[in-house]
Structure 1
Amino acid sequence: MARLGMLIDLSACVGCAACAVACKMENQVPAGASRLWIREREVGRFPNLAVEFRPEQCNHCENPPCVPVCPTGASYQTKDGLVEVDVAKCIACGACAAACPYDARFTNKKGGYADKCNFCAHRLAKDQQPACVETCPAYARVFGDLDDPNSEIAKVLKAAERSDVLRPDQGTRPKVIYLNAPSKKGLTQEVSDS
């Protein structure tokens, strides 16, 4: 079985939000909601400051806290490790959203169910890349099987100088992995969400 994941190279991301727009259009995300967003942070110390653009979304965790808390089984994990929502079973109770340490879920008010990134599962079924990967003009995203040593994602991850995940202290083992994040030395301050 594949272990699907995504790499996001923060040294390549320019914060254009093409990924977020592509996601909204591809998945018909209602106005005011997002499956993917961009955080902007100042990193470094004066006078050596830089801006980091960090796209965030569901991390498709190997140990997803959102799955066991779902009272109806609507939140589940596929054989490939994707964390999905069966909208027919979802009662929009919000338990999964409360359990997610990444704030990656929202209630789709139009449909009445929990919603989030699913790596464009409908596109994967047609052997296509997720819309955010295909759209990125900076080629900052790579998607594929993390366990296949011949896959592009495995090769890029192996060659990366630095890799990190969000909130490793949570023990969720995220499969959205950030490459080339600025050094954790120095002052960092979150500025805004796009």
Structure 2
Amino acid sequence: MDISKRHFLTSCGTLLAGISIYTVAKELAQTEAELGVDQTQTIKYAMVHDENLCIGCNACEQACREVNDVPVGVSRVVIKRTGPFGEYPDQSYRFSRLSCQHCENAPCVTVCPTGAAYIDSETGIVGVNADMCVGCQYCIAACPYQVRFINPVTKAADKCDFCKETRLKQGKQPACVEACPTHALVFGNIRDPDSELVKTLKTKPTYRAKMDLGTRPKLFHVSTINREIVL
């Protein structure tokens, strides 16, 4: 790639990133107004997964399992590998993260008959109260991202909660973030303009899965640059 083309793509990426964070802020405010959310809330956690930095080592999966006592056979975080793209020896893979999206408009919360599925009013994290869960699996059926499961030990619905009950309570980052050797994960408060999360959203163009469903997820992805282009 020549210098002029590289400069052009970099400039486009910066522009798209600026548009992205503006759109995110606008959508967030609109959704919260519609849902009657307290817009003076100072904390709203979100995460960015950079597919260009992820190497598919699965350190995040293992750290999550150990810290949150996730039984064998189920997982709160899955790194999906697709590819290879290109021809040998210039081949590459795409590594994408599958986990709870912590939706602003969460279908799992809407359908839960007991209130076990909820959105935490202080952090915006979508959580599960295992003591209230009756295992009806309505939330599993309603989740468009297919990231919920029944914990074989507790018999309750389970999923990623950004380590709300473990690491966050200790004032630490989620286990997956600290375990990532390439710093492909960035976690923070989307309401804090000085947070590393917001700085990342401002400098890198991102996408969110299934935005057409109106769920307004708070898991952002930086798309792999050299993956296969589908027309």
Same fold by TM-score, threshold 0.5 exceeded? yes
Give distance in 1, aligned partners of 2:84 and 2:64.
27
Give the drift of 1:41.
1.2
Q: SS at the partner of 1:134?
A: helix
CA–CA distance in structure 1, aligned partners of residues 60 and 226 of structure 2: 25
Change (3 A) 1:177 1:25: same
Higher relative strand content: 1
Shift of 1:95: 0.2
Q: Does 1:168 align with 2:188?
A: no
Secondary structure of 2:111's aligned partner: coil
Matches within 5 A, 1:7-156: 7-42=48-83, 44=85, 49-79=91-121, 80-122=123-165, 123-156=167-200
What CA distance in whole angstroms lies between the structure 2 residues aligned with 1:137 and 1:19?
A: 9
Distance 1:66 1:153, change over 3 A: same
Verify the 8 A CA contact 1:67 1:75 in the aligned structure 2.
Answer: yes
Letter of the structure 1 residue corresponding to residue 196 of structure 2: E
Secondary structure of 2:102's aligned partner: coil
Report the Cα distance in structure 1 between the residues aligned to 2:86 and 2:180, rounded to whole angstroms. Answer: 29
Q: What is the CA deviation profile of residues 16-39 of structure 1, one whole-angstrom value per residue up to 9, with x for unaligned ones? A: 000000011111111100000011
Moved more, 27-36 or 165-174: 165-174
Give the secondary structure class of the aligned counterpart of 1:32.
coil
CA contact (8 A) 1:45 1:186 kept: no
- The Cα shift of 1:46 comes to 5.3
TM (norm. structure 2) is 0.76
Contiguous gaps of at least 5 residues in structure 1: 189-194
Question: What are structure 2's unaligned runs of at least 5 residues?
Answer: 1-41
Bigger CA radius of gyration: 2
Root-mean-square deviation (CA, aligned residues, Å) is 1.8
Question: How far, CA to CA, are the matches of 2:180 and 2:134 in structure 1?
Answer: 34
TM-score normalised by L of structure 1: 0.90
| Number of equivalent positions | 187
Q: Percent identity?
A: 42
Q: Deviations over 1:27-81 (max 9, x none)?
A: 1111100000011112756577521011211010111110010000000001211
- Structure 2 CA distance, aligned partners of 1:181 and 1:56? 15
For the 8 Å contact 2:92–2:226, the answer to whether it is kept is no
Deviates more, 1:144-153 or 1:48-57: 48-57
Q: Which amino acid aligns with 1:3?
A: K
Q: Give the secondary-structure state (helix, strand or coil) at the position aligned to 1:54.
A: strand
Q: Is the 8 A contact 1:44 1:187 kept in 2?
A: no
1:192 — aligned with what?
none
How far did residue 181 of structure 1 move?
A: 3.0
CA pair 142-65 structure 1, distance change in 2 beyond 3 A: same
Change (3 A) 1:81 1:28: same
**Quick check: which one's helix share is greater?**
2
Query: 1:36·1:57 contact (CA, 8 Å) conserved in 2?
Result: yes
